[in-house]
Amino acid sequence: MSAVIEIEGLRKSFRRLRHGDRVALDGFDLLVEAGQVHGFLGPNGSGKTTTLRALLGLVRADAGRMTVLGQPAPRLLRAVSNRFGAIVESPQFFGNFTGRKTLQLLATAGGVPAVRVDEALERVGLRDRGDDRVKAYSLGMKQRLAVASALLKQPELLILDEPANGLDPAGIREMRDMMRALAADGVTVLVSSHILAEIELICDHVTIISRGRRVAAGTVRAVLAGFDHGDYLVRVAEPARAAEVVEAAGLRVVIHDDHLVVSGVDDPARLSELLGGHDLWVRELTPLTPDLESVFLELTGARVPRQVDDAGGPPGTDGHVELGPTTPEVTA
């Protein structure tokens, strides 16, 4: 597979008048290959937007090597500007124009055939609302109109920064369906988010950033597998005695109110046999497979951001959440 985005050793500090420099990126690496739907995941303030802005030349990096579609970025991005689209800043549209008119103007300005306007509206699910004024659009529809504007060029790569931010559940679902459809058409997608469930549903690959550094990368499945500690939930009649038996066999165990969690289990049949050999009959034996949320917590120590549709909105609206200690990188 060929690399579509490569970032190596990206560094960026922001000058602050009173409290010294703020290190936003501390040697960050990212590799996105053709055909991937790649989730760029990290807590608020971990450096996602700064990375994308540096890649696109919206902010100057202090150090690091970046390429987009084989071209050094941001220096020679212009050479491939027709092959990728990026929505990093909140798009602003003229509210009195319709969605179709907006795209027609952009198509004319970009020398794109007019026929692509309807194709783009169709691809983002706005065909039936194309003749409504943009000021009547929901936030999700405006986001999709922005994606449609990027699709006019028929890009092979789409970069989206927090596309689900601020959307209601229906908007999130529409955005997700749209990304899936683009991926099915062979568009490589890099999507940043702090919403774990979204990334798990949409993406095949993930890079996790914490405090400006990559702390995990690989296929979602492989990253999850790297955090599979062989944990099993076990229900037996005598949990305390069962725990002794399990511990004596060299396995780690935590006793809960009505069950045990046994760690380091290679073969659940052996665990069942072990307990049965002591007249402890297993009523339930369930693997506790990690999800992206538990991996994210383990790697970043961040509070798990709520879905935007949850009451109260995401935490860290001040731009930050508390992070745990720096964790060694996991690459899968």
Ligand X SMILES: Nc1ncnc2c1ncn2[C@@H]1O[C@H](COP(=O)(O)OP(=O)(O)OP(=O)(O)O)[C@@H](O)[C@H]1O
Residues forming the site for ligand X (CB under 6 A): 14, 22, 24, 42, 44-50, 194, 319
CB 67 within 8 A of CB 5: yes
Shortest Cβ distance from residue 11 to ligand X (Å)?
12
Cα(32)–Cα(219) distance, integer angstroms: 11
Cα(268)–Cα(251) distance, integer angstroms: 12
Shortest Cβ distance from residue 41 to ligand X (Å)?
9
Shortest Cβ distance from residue 191 to ligand X (Å)?
13
With residue 28 as reference, give the H or E element that holds it.
Answer: strand 22-33
Closer of 196 and 282 to ligand X (Cβ) = 196
Closer of 120 and 191 to ligand X (Cβ) = 191
C-alpha distances (whole Å) from 163 to each of 59, 159, 160, 285, 315 are 20, 10, 6, 39, 17
CB 223 within 8 A of CB 330: yes
Cα(311)–Cα(296) distance, integer angstroms: 22
> Residues 6 or more apart from 8 whose CB is under 8 A from it?
29, 64, 65, 66
Cα(61)–Cα(146) distance, integer angstroms: 26
Shortest Cβ distance from residue 160 to ligand X (Å)?
13
Closer of 181 and 197 to ligand X (Cβ) = 197
Cα(47)–Cα(287) distance, integer angstroms: 34
Angle at 78 between CA 75 and CA 81, to 5 degrees: 130
Closer of 98 and 307 to ligand X (Cβ) = 307
Shortest Cβ distance from residue 46 to ligand X (Å)?
4
Q: Is the dihedral of CA 40, 146, 320, 311 positive or negative?
A: negative
Shortest Cβ distance from residue 48 to ligand X (Å)?
4
**Is the peptide bond between 328 and the residue preceding it cis, with omega within 30 degrees of 0?**
no
Closer of 54 and 262 to ligand X (Cβ) = 54
Helix (H, G, I), strand (E, B) or coil at 72: strand
Closer of 116 and 194 to ligand X (Cβ) = 194
Shortest Cβ distance from residue 42 to ligand X (Å)?
5
DSSP 8-state secondary structure symbol assigned to residue 133: B
Shortest Cβ distance from residue 325 to ligand X (Å)?
17
Closer of 194 and 205 to ligand X (Cβ) = 194
Closer of 46 and 188 to ligand X (Cβ) = 46
CB 30 within 8 A of CB 213: no
Shortest Cβ distance from residue 14 to ligand X (Å)?
3
Cα(69)–Cα(4) distance, integer angstroms: 5
Query: What number of other Cβ atoms are within 10 A of residue 173's Cβ?
Result: 14
Closer of 24 and 112 to ligand X (Cβ) = 24
